Chains A and B, each alone.
Chain A
Amino acid sequence: MNPDVLEYTELVREERLPHIWCPGCGNGIVLQAVLRAVAKCGLDPNKVAVVSGIGCSSRAALYVDFDTLHTTHGRAIAFATGLKLAKPELTVLVLTGDGDCAAIGGNHLIHAARRNIDLTVVVFNNSVYGMTSGQHSPTTAPGSTATTAPYGSIEPTFDLCRLAEAAGATYVARSTTYHATQMASLIERAIKNKGFSLVDCISACPTYYGRRNREMFGGSGDAVAMMKWQKDHAVSVSAARQMSPEELKDKFVIGELVNRPAPDFSTLYQDMLEAVGSSR
């Protein structure tokens, strides 16, 4: 089998379909971008492992034809760290959500970024806990409602990209499900970065977020309205450079935000082994 000719559709476990996601969910778009990126990288599927946590996003692992590890809530990055260090020749992708990696798994995220573990973390960021029916998450916009923020969230949000950058990630990017083509190419570049990469994929949950926050999405919280919101609020890196903080106030920046290659943990570990006269 020549992996160069693989279509992304060949990387799907078709027998696992249909998926569990609701109509209008953005997760399928993110997953497609992931698979297009893997296909584009020409990776041997036998040497790719996908690790996920718990939540709607993390079910994505079940639908892809690699070694897949569906772990406990928040811990995907820690499992992936062990897997990657034990078998550095694997390309390890982590598929996670905003609740999974920014709330319960936040500590693993920042330390894997700090260590520059060669992982590609794809965050399906839909601003809500979908699987448990719509509780607010660390990326729920202030003022918007959720089942556990019925009077509007009073919490500021996490900017996952800035968090990852500050923690030491060597590649950070953001895209949206509206910008699906860009999303795939950013994930591709993230995979190619030998180090810790995070791609924040702004996604839509019409069922539990859009429906409750129609005003935020222009009167309708359906999938189309939420995509339009993404289109209207996303600003490219180059455009953002020309804009004032006031103009950027309710916008978010998409594109490649950080790209600063540095030796990853496994490379430095290998150097240490050689220094002590050992090898794997």
Chain B
Amino acid sequence: MPSEVRFLQGNEACAEGAIAAGVRFYAGYPITPSSEIAEEMAAKLPKVGGVFIQMEDEIGSIAACIGASLAGVKAMTATSGPGFSLMQENIGYACMAEVPCVVVNVMRGGPSTGLPTLPAQGDVMQARWGTHGDHPAIAVCPWSVEEMFTLTIRAVNLSERYRTPVVLLSDEVVAHMREKVRIPTPEEIEIWERPRPTCPPEQYRPYEPDPVTDVPPMADFGDGYRYNVTGLVHDETGFATISPAKTSALVERLVRKVEKARCDIVQVDTRHMEKARLAVFAYGCAARAALRAVRDARAMGVPVGLFRPITLWPFPEAEVRALASDVDAIIVAEMNLGQMVMEVERVVAGRCAVVSVAECTGELVKPQHILQSILQGTGSRPVTFVRKAS
């Protein structure tokens, strides 16, 4: 089958990517602006022998995904802010029990019901810290319809390889716009599988990690391994413990398995960084406006480039640190009141100035606002961080 070029909506591309990645179970609940993903999955999954179910709420949706994943089936759900809030407890469960699943959050304006059909980027910290307790987080952030396709596949792959929930953090703009997408051939698509046990059931210790990756092999329910899965702190046998040593061993390993795989997980995209003295840090739909601003500024002779984190979590620390050594200032443009700028600030740690262009209007950030900031070299409302390197 040759690759094909199609004209797709972002949410459609997400569903196409999920099918291509091997997702064969989807449980979801209608919510704008993600509903087209459920509609597409309802149409497509039966045709490939997969299961679609519309659950009674988002809590049940992610619970069903975790149940299906334990049966060995790649599972996904999609939602938006209010539903993402409801899912947080079981996202924590999936972190703790190390059950692969993908949660698509098409961000809309918040808090609460907020702006159902308008874009925002206010959930980036929730994607990191939404569930309680210390836990790993992987979140990827598409800026185009094509990336809705490729990053859905990547989210599924990362989730399987690291046995942890992965959030595809999209937004209303990217999810609802239509663009050209090249759909690769199946041979071109790299598919990762979760590690599975190679030992006989009597030797299986379900939460004994691989010494290199820190990821334990995962048996499918029904394959004779007969093990226990719990959200309680557990030891390598999978049963609950309150041992201080075993508690720290577990929680630290959960975080470490993702931390140590940063090189595999973190992706960034840079544009027009040749001899740049300024960089605009932007992700998702805001990066589209940022790219326009960068091009306009370049046309005016300003040495500015675009730094676009594709992976938001784990945060691309090394890449941002290197960037901070190369430029005089980083302008963080995002559609919230300044969330990722805090992370940039933390990592830059005074190596260069950090300027926040933080907007929460329900509209796509205007390139002119970012351009203005580039030209002024200073921040706009409402939060401004300016720190000059000493």
CB-CB nearest in chain B for A104: B59
Stretch of A66-74, A132-140, A204-212, A241-249 that contacts chain B: A66-74
A87 close to chain B: CB less than 8 A: yes
A65 close to chain B: CB less than 8 A: yes
B67 close to chain A: CB less than 8 A: yes
* Cβ contact within 8 Å between A46 and B222: yes
B68 close to chain A: CB less than 8 A: yes
Separation of A47 and B47 alpha carbons in the complex (Å):
27
Separation of A65 and B228 alpha carbons in the complex (Å):
9
CB-CB nearest in chain A for B51: A85
For the complex formed, measure the closest distance between the CB of A279 and the CB atoms of chain B, giving whole angstroms: 6
Separation of A82 and B225 alpha carbons in the complex (Å):
19
Q: A61-B228, A69-B67 are in contact. Are A49 and B49 (CB under 8 A)?
A: no
Q: Which of B64, B69, B70, B223 contacts A78 (CB 8 A)?
A: B64
Contacts of B71 in A (CB 8 A): 82-83, 86-87, 90
CB-CB nearest in chain A for B225: A67
* Cβ contact within 8 Å between A86 and B67: yes
Contacts of A108 in B (CB 8 A): 56, 60, 63
Contacts of A269 in B (CB 8 A): 51
Stretch of B182-190, B229-237, B292-300, B332-340 that contacts chain A: B229-237
For the complex formed, measure the closest distance between the CB of B83 and the CB atoms of chain A, giving whole angstroms: 14
For the complex formed, measure the closest distance between the CB of B262 and the CB atoms of chain A, giving whole angstroms: 29
Separation of A89 and B223 alpha carbons in the complex (Å):
11
Which of the listed residues B27, B72, B230, B239 has the most CB atoms from chain A within 10 Å of its own CB? Answer: B230
B115 close to chain A: CB less than 8 A: no
For the complex formed, measure the closest distance between the CB of A12 and the CB atoms of chain B, giving whole angstroms: 12
Contacts of A279 in B (CB 8 A): 49
Mask: chain A, 250-274; 1 = CB below 8 Å from B; 0 = not: 0000000000000000000100110
Q: Which of B55, B66, B67, B226 contacts A46 (CB 8 A)?
A: B226
* Cβ contact within 8 Å between B55 and A16: no
* Cβ contact within 8 Å between B231 and A79: no
Contacts of B72 in A (CB 8 A): 86-87
A276 close to chain B: CB less than 8 A: yes
B227 close to chain A: CB less than 8 A: yes
A111 close to chain B: CB less than 8 A: yes
Separation of A108 and B55 alpha carbons in the complex (Å):
9
Mask: chain A, 202-242; 1 = CB below 8 Å from B; 0 = not: 00000000000000000000000000000000000000000
Contacts of A80 in B (CB 8 A): 67
Contacts of B90 in A (CB 8 A): 72, 75
CB-CB nearest in chain A for B221: A67
For the complex formed, measure the closest distance between the CB of B48 and the CB atoms of chain A, giving whole angstroms: 7
* Cβ contact within 8 Å between B222 and A47: yes
For the complex formed, measure the closest distance between the CB of A63 and the CB atoms of chain B, giving whole angstroms: 10
Contacts of A69 in B (CB 8 A): 67, 70, 221, 228-229
Q: A62-B240, A86-B67 are in contact. Are A78 and B226 (CB under 8 A)?
A: no
B329 close to chain A: CB less than 8 A: no
Q: Which of B68, B89, B222, B230 contacts A85 (CB 8 A)?
A: B68
Contacts of B75 in A (CB 8 A): 82, 86
For the complex formed, measure the closest distance between the CB of B277 and the CB atoms of chain A, giving whole angstroms: 50
Jot down 28 A-B pairs with beta carbons below 8 A, ordered by A.
Answer: A46-B226, A62-B230, A62-B239, A66-B226, A68-B228, A72-B90, A75-B60, A75-B63, A78-B59, A78-B60, A79-B66, A81-B55, A82-B53, A82-B69, A82-B75, A84-B67, A85-B64, A85-B68, A86-B25, A86-B67, A86-B73, A89-B222, A90-B221, A107-B60, A108-B56, A111-B60, A273-B46, A278-B48
A residues bordering B, Cβ < 8 Å? 16, 45-47, 49, 51, 61-62, 65-72, 75, 78-87, 89-90, 107-108, 110-111, 269, 272-273, 276-280
Given A78-B60, A82-B68, 5 additional A-B pairs, CB 8 A: A46-B224, A68-B226, A81-B27, A86-B68, A89-B222
B residues bordering A, Cβ < 8 Å? 24-25, 27, 46-49, 51, 53, 55-57, 59-61, 63-73, 75, 89-90, 93, 220-232, 239-240
